[in-house]
Amino acid sequence: MEKQQVLVKGKAKTVYATNDPDKLVIHFRNDTSAFDGEKMEQLDRKGMVNNRFNAFIMQKLQAAGIPTHFESLLADDEVLVKKMHMIPVECVVRNIAAGSIVRRLGVQDGMDLNPPTFEFFLKNDALHDPMVNEYHIRSFNWATDAEVAAMKELTFRVNDILKKLFADAGLLLVDYKLEFGRYHGEVMLGDEFSPDGCRLWDAKTREKLDKDRFRQGLGGVVEAYEEVARRLGVPLE
Ligand code: TMP
Ligand code: ASP
């Protein structure tokens, strides 16, 4: 597949057109951002680790019947995907309270959420990804009712699959963010699933093994991602 012009340069990934109008190449860079791009650093190996991690998870999800954009790994830091029209909302599921929900609702950090909770956020860094509800999504035509239903259903199915996958590796899936798009009318999972977009804690010690290490300046960011990958059996170089 021939990589052509840059279509989008995001904070951590660059998207390229290809000679196939239905396919894109995503390049995972070492750039790491937090707080909507306010904090930015280059972390050695992160592009490779997240690309391989994401490919592993996307294939697990596909095997479990979740439609995703994943096609094939092209290189250490590049993946071939289906070209989707992205829906501009982020779907967050929380199994344990952490991060913004603790600040917004004053609930206790680390409390179990039964049932898990779900939130939509608008993907807009300039507005700091404000929380939105289903009425906003309908009124502003970001997605149809059927697409909202599909995103919620798929996001919760992903939770069942990944909670177990991580639990078997001694990890708690605290929360995560998913983004979806349309491909020839079908809602599919896009973007990425990596420790950049979820919270993972060691099940025994509750040590943070995700991007909170970067946000909070704890160090050992990529080392933590590699530890998670090693426990799951993700092939890294
Ligand atoms: P939050 O606690 O900051 O709302 O984040 C919830 C989860 O979603 C957490 O795992 C981080 C992830 N997330 C992103 O990856 N990107 C984002 O822009 C946002 C708002 C959350
Ligand atoms: N993904 C967002 C950013 O990179 C928010 C975050 O992860 O803190 O700025």
Q: Quick one: fold of 85-224?
A: D-amino Acid Aminotransferase; Chain A, domain 1 (3.30.470)
pLDDT in tens, 163-191: 999 999 999 999 999 999 999 999 999 99
Ligand 2 atom 7, closest CA: 34
**Ligand 1 atom nearest residue 123's Cα:** 18
Q: Which two tokens stand for residue 41?
A: 């650093």
State the closest ligand 2 atom to the C-alpha of 39, by its place in the atom list counted from 1: 9
pLDDT above 90 for 237? no
Nearest CA to ligand 1 atom 4: 100
**195 neighbors 210 (Cβ within 8 angstroms):** yes
Q: How far is CA 27 from CA 16, 165, 229, in A?
A: 8, 26, 19
Give distance in angstroms: CA of 223 to centre of ligand 2: 19
Task: Work out the end-to-end distance of the chain between its first and last CA atoms, rounded to an integer number of angstroms.
Answer: 23
User: Which residue's CA is minimally distant from atom 1 of ligand 1?
Assistant: 100
Q: Do 3-82 and 85-224 have matching folds?
A: no
pLDDT tens for each residue of 81-114:
999 999 999 999 999 999 999 999 999 999 999 9
**Spelled out in words, what is the top-level CATH class assigned to the domain 3-82?**
alpha beta
Question: What ranges do the domains of the chain cover?
Answer: 3-82, 85-224
**Quick check: helix, strand or coil at residue 96?**
strand
Q: Which atom of ligand 2 is nearest to the CA of 33?
A: 4
Tens of pLDDT, residues 106-158: 999 999 999 999 999 999 999 999 999 999 999 999 999 999 999 999 999 99
| Closest listed ligand to the CA of 11 | 2
Which residue CA neighbors atom 8 of ligand 2 most closely? 34
Q: Going by C-beta distance under 8 Å and a sequence separation of 6 or more, which residues neighbour residue 158?
A: 61, 66, 93, 176, 178, 189, 193
Which atom of ligand 1 is closest in space to residue 198's alpha carbon?
10
Number of H helices, E strands in the chain: 6, 13
Q: What is the DSSP letter of 234?
A: -
